[in-house]
Amino acid sequence: MVRKLVVKVTAGAEDAERCNQAFTVAAAATAAGAEVSLWLTGEAAWYAVPGRAQQFSLPMATPLVDLLGIVLAEGSVTACTQCAARRGITDADVIPGVQIKGAAVFAEEILADGVQALVY
């Protein structure tokens, strides 16, 4: 049995390596068959908006848009309610398949039995 993995990414382009690492781990776990939930918080909330992941660039890294696509195809992607609101991002603004949810849902996910949570 593969455990569920919840990955919370708190950084965006201002800390590109940390941001990319979170997306890479989430996509790799998804490809390995894990149930993955990727949470976009802080500046990473922008990657819930169409076109933003395409703008991200990090030398010698898989494009962020590709990593996001892998997780969206098989897992779940959620933008933090408060983080989205602070940036003016609404449900109407996000990529199809991305949800906007709050801290209570995050806490429920990470406190479930058999879940591994990582925060980047």
Give percent of the chain with pLDDT exceeding 70.
99
Which CATH class for the 4-119 domain? alpha beta
In angstroms and rounded to an integer, the radius of gyration of the C-alpha atoms of the chain is: 13
Is residue 105 within 8 Å of residue 81, measured between CB atoms?
no
Give the sheet arrangement for strand 115-119, strand by strand: 98-101, 76-80, 36-40, 4-9, 115-119
Residue 104 reports pLDDT greater than 90: yes
CA distance 2 to 29: 10
Domain map of the chain by residue range? 4-119
Hey, is 3 helix, strand or coil?
A: coil
CA distance 29 to 68: 12
Structure tokens at 87: 């940036």
Average of pLDDT values for 3-12?
A: 96
33-83 pLDDT, tens digit each: 999 999 999 999 999 999 999 999 999 999 999 999 999 999 999 999 999
Residue 1 reports pLDDT greater than 70: no
